[in-house]
Amino acid sequence: MALPASFGNIIIDTDNYKHCHYPLYPPGTEYVSSYIESRGGEFPVTMFVGLQAFIRERLLKPITLEDIDEAEFVVREQGMHFNRENWMGILNDHGGFLPVEIEAVPEGTVLPTRNVLVQLINTDPKYYWATSFFETALLRAVWYPTTVGTISWLAKQAIREALERTSDNAHLLRFMLHDYGARGVSSQQSAALGGLAHLVNFNQSDTVPGILAAKKYYNAGNVSNSGPNSEHAGFCAWGREQEADAMRNMLRVMAPHGVALLLTDTYDHENAVKNILGKELREEIMNFPGLVGARPDSGDPVQVTADTTEWLMDAFGYEVNSKGFKILPPFIRCVQGDGITRESLPLIYAELERRGFAADNAVFGMGGGLLQHCNRDTLNFGQKASAVRVNGEWRDIAKAPTGASFKASKRGRLALRYVDGEYQTVARDSCPPEENLLVPVYRDGKLLKKWDFTELIANSEREVPESYYLDAVRPLREANRAAVAV
């Protein structure tokens, strides 16, 4: 559904209780500085992305008198206090723009968890409460695309490892994982943010909102590729006895496009691969002017990918590449888009390698496993206040709950340094300004730094220590050691 205008009102794009927080600070509070980080979680690193989309969509549009009126009605209706004077002040003193400065890590950067990613502070002491007020919207805008981008980045490292181990075509890396997640997410907005995050790592997507978001917010050019695929409705309509005719029709119709991905599990996947593709349609596939994909869409993804590759080799032959692994002819591949997750993908590559098959025999798509199998706790994202200035005196502050040590927060105004190959979050006054990697990106309604999508890609592809991705490639290495031992 299209979101009504009310959803764009940042005064009510928050938790209701935020409206009662401003009088809870000490008298004389002038500035509040807070930061966002991943406090650890399932992965050792984050690939930071998404902040610029939020700034351009939400913070470059001033609040209006109508927004204030609407918010007052909604908030008071819920039984919550609403300070109209605060918002009229922002309207009159700052033209409706939030008086806040935001600085952040360059988007696309991959760095270890528990480091500062975003830091913000109010720019007018009269509005000290503004820093934390829009935490709900800001944190949501950061944790989700960053988590999806990290899942995609780690998948990329597993694919890179597999290609380097068994393939002669490492240059295909950015074309090996397709985003099919649009139907599996909670909203179109999720599809947009998660989809653009994936495109930092790969050039393949059917998630149109993500493609549009990359173009709108990051000036992306030709950022994605797709190709003719099939669905069960079209094949089922021909009837079980005409399954071969349904596939033949697709080969004919899609020949001018040079790609035809044929569903093979409409009825009996093994029969479809061995007898329909491998025998009845063999000559037509071999003469197809482009790539034909055999696409299983059910079954155990580890076994079905390897089995399908093996059956295709039985039908169409194979060559042995320079690394000693079997590779299908260039006109046929296995296309696996079901059950692909960050856990299953390296296991699939391990099984392909165990059977002596090159990694580029198969290409993959991820749906829910890419865009939906995560939440804020996957990487334990949080925004916390770390410093306040009261009556001209700065105080470093932090929380330290005894019941959840990982929630202990950082103290003071922060900076991020890169020293001897390691990122370090340090006290701001201990870091020379020219060494601080946090870049001012927003201040008082103005975008200070505009990241281009090519910059995000370049940042994400910088060389990193092996420890960043070791867990993602471990199944491949363990499988290889086991095979050597045997």
Q: With 0-12 CB in 10 A as exposed, 13-18 as middle and 19+ as buried, what is 334? A: buried
333 annotated to a ligand binding site: no
79 annotated to a ligand binding site: no
Q: Which residues have CB under 8 Å from 129's CB, separation 6+?
A: 21, 22, 25, 32, 86, 122
**What is the phi-psi region of residue 38: left when phi exceeds 0, alpha when psi lies from -120 to 50, beta otherwise?**
beta
373 annotated to a ligand binding site: no
**Amino acid code (one letter) for 53:** A
94 annotated to a ligand binding site: no
Where helices occur in 95-181 by DSSP H, the ranges are 130-133, 135-166
Give CA–CA dist 305/298, Å, rounded.
10
382 annotated to a ligand binding site: no
φ/ψ of 431, rounded to 5, equals -115, 125
* 3-state secondary structure (DSSP) of residue 119: strand
Map tokens 């204030």 to a residue. Answer: 68
368 annotated to a ligand binding site: yes
Q: Which residues have CB under 8 Å from 164's CB, separation 6+?
A: 170
26: which 2 tokens? 């000490």
φ/ψ of 440, rounded to 5, equals -60, 125
206 annotated to a ligand binding site: yes
44 annotated to a ligand binding site: no
Give CA–CA dist 365/367, Å, rounded.
7
Binding site for diphosphate, by residue number, is 183, 232, 295
Binding site for beta-nicotinamide D-ribonucleotide, by residue number, is 206, 295-297, 337-338, 368, 376
Binding site, by residue number, is 183, 206, 232, 295-297, 337-338, 368, 376
